[in-house]
Structure 1
Amino acid sequence: MEVVAVHIRELDPSGSPLDYYGYELRRAREAAGLTQQALGSIVFCTGSLIGQIETTVRVPTREFSERVDAALGTDGTFSRLVGLVLRSQLPSWFQPYAEMEARAAYISVYQAQVVYGLLQTRAYAQALLGVREESTADALVAARLDRQRILDRPEPPVTWVVLSEAALHQEVGGREVMRDQLAHLLTLQQRRWLDIQVLPFEAGAHTGLMGSFNLLRFENDPAIVYTEDFVQGHMTANPPAIREGSARYDHLQAAALPPRDSATLIARVMEERYGNRSGPDRRAVA
């Protein structure tokens, strides 16, 4: 028999999107005459999880929201609201970029050390985001994965990603996580509007040595260049900055391997560095 240990507390629905979601979930559940345990059994989770979401202890997922809408007959209310909830979990300084990224028609990315967020697997994102924010990693991962939905639109943004070869070798989360991540990159290469190039170590000095940066272009708005430091992100539509960023990116694309050769390199690193090598006792050899 399940024991629900979540304490009922009053929420201010104007406090945040997450507070509003929890408040509305409780209101809709009670209006339907359901206990937390009863609703949980309908949407395939525990009553404890329902209580945690209602009290903002846990962040809802999109799948959970869709099931709640179906169970409570709320006409897509929670499915629409969850996008705001997940975006609110992103760092405040990153939220403006996420909003612009979702509107962009063209996304050009150079990543010097890690795989770009839109291309990350859940396990890779969990390992990366849990380094300093372990207590909030689940919410951050959910928000990052929700960003990736723009790639599944009927008309997704044209996305071009240049990854330093270092991103393939920088082990995040262990060998199995990295193998799955590189396999995911190979799968993504098959998408019509997404291209991935790898900038090999052999390229030597290049225009991306100053660090990672992104360029966003829009149908009717000025382009934006985005950079990050260890404190926050920086966006600018300043024409000289756009001109410089565009020139640097063109040089990076020219120096990087073509997409087909990049896929070959990704596959080779995946097998040689993260393949299933085992010793006599069947334990992985580092």
Structure 2
Amino acid sequence: MANIRNLDPSASPLDYYGSELRRLREEAGLSQDQLGGILFCTGSLVGQVETAKKLPTRQFSERLDAALMTGGLFTRLIGLVLKSQLPNWFQPYAEMEAKATYISTYQAQLVYGLLQTEPYARAVLSVDNPGGADEMAAARMERQRILERENPPVVCVILDEAVLYREIGGVEVMRGQLAHLLSFRDHPWIQVQVLPFGVGQHSGLLGSFTLLRFDDDPDILYAESYESGHMTANSQAIRERFVGYARLQATALSREDSAALIARVMEDRYGYQPGPEVA
């Protein structure tokens, strides 16, 4: 039976997406099952998206635009829909992150969000919100699209060595995550370094932080507490953190040595066995 729950299009981007999907489907004279057949999914899924019970994917949106000949409407909407799944307190930071020219971050506990795999992100997010982990992980993957644009930001990431050993989501998830980090080894705009245990005391002991630089706007320092994030453009705070970050970079392993350590942990702790090299 078709789901005919009424939506208020102004309630949220997801509600607007669902109401537009229903309107355009009905204008095309298609049932939910018929449209599902065109999209290679079930009519039930179409109904769930129409009633804002299911979060659409980017692939679903692209197929929908092609099926209903909408001129890319749903592909444009999906970014807003996924962004709306981010916590309210995090959304202002995500907006600034998307505009940044340079991103410099030190992470003491977890892989930086822009470099997380979807299974890793889902495992992290399920700790406090198991019911919404899929939606929030999808939103995190959407954030990563800034790395694929024509002029992506320069991203410098320093991970505490503990991040490599903290098993998030199980062995398979960690193998995939570390392999993903290794994929950036020769990336022109992304640099991954590891701060080894042997360093001892260092300028990141107070916790993770991120510095954003822009072409035409003041620099921003961002740090998180348990359920909130704090951004500041205070020049003295930013000056101190830039110096602290420079010291962390100087103390961390080189890009090459960091990749070697990641590969070693991947093999020793998570059982990865590299295949034979092809001559």
Query: TM above 0.5, one fold?
Result: yes
State the identity as a percent: 63
Which residues of 2 match residues 42-81 of structure 1 at below 5 A? 42-81=38-77
Instruction: Tell me what 1:223 maps to.
Output: 219
| One-letter amino acid matched to 1:122 | E
Of 3, 27, 33, which aligns to 2:29? 33
Which residues of 2 match residues 176-255 of structure 1 at below 5 A? 176-255=172-251
Instruction: Tell me what 2:261 maps to.
Output: 265
CA distance in 2, matches of 1:63, 1:190: 29
Instruction: Tell me what 1:107 maps to.
Output: 103
CA distance in 1, matches of 2:6, 2:101: 42
| One-letter amino acid matched to 2:216 | N
CA distance in 2, matches of 1:39, 1:93: 37
SS of 1:149's equivalent? helix
After TM superposition, give the deviation of residue 188 of structure 1 in Å: 1.9
The answer on whether the counterparts of 2:175 and 2:272 sit within 8 Å (CA) in structure 1 is: no
Sort the Cα spacing of 1:275 and 1:17 in 2 relative to 1 into closer, same or farther, 3 A.
same
CA distance in 2, matches of 1:260, 1:154: 26
Instruction: Tell me what 2:18 maps to.
Output: 22
CA distance in 2, matches of 1:276, 1:183: 10
Instruction: Tell me what 1:9 maps to.
Output: 5
SS of 1:7's equivalent? coil
SS of 1:162's equivalent? strand
- 1:164 and 2:149 aligned: no
CA distance in 2, matches of 1:210, 1:40: 51
> Gapped runs of 5+ residues in structure 2?
274-279
SS of 1:188's equivalent? coil
After TM superposition, give the deviation of residue 7 of structure 1 in Å: 3.3
Per-residue CA distance 1:112-137 (angstroms, 9 max, x = gap)? 01101110111111111111111111
CA distance in 2, matches of 1:131, 1:89: 16
CA distance in 1, matches of 2:30, 2:24: 9
SS of 2:207's equivalent? coil
| One-letter amino acid matched to 1:259 | R
Per-residue CA distance 1:48-104 (angstroms, 9 max, x = gap)? 111111111111111111110001000000000110110010000000000000000
Instruction: Tell me what 1:283 maps to.
Output: none
| One-letter amino acid matched to 2:255 | P
Stretches of 4+ aligned residues off by more than 2 angstroms: none
- 1:116 and 2:112 aligned: yes
Q: What root-mean-square deviation, in Å, do the aligned CA atoms of Structure 1 and Structure 2 show?
A: 1.0
After TM superposition, give the deviation of residue 145 of structure 1 in Å: 0.3
CA distance in 2, matches of 1:158, 1:181: 21
CA distance in 2, matches of 1:134, 1:49: 21
CA distance in 2, matches of 1:88, 1:141: 12
After TM superposition, give the deviation of residue 191 of structure 1 in Å: 1.4
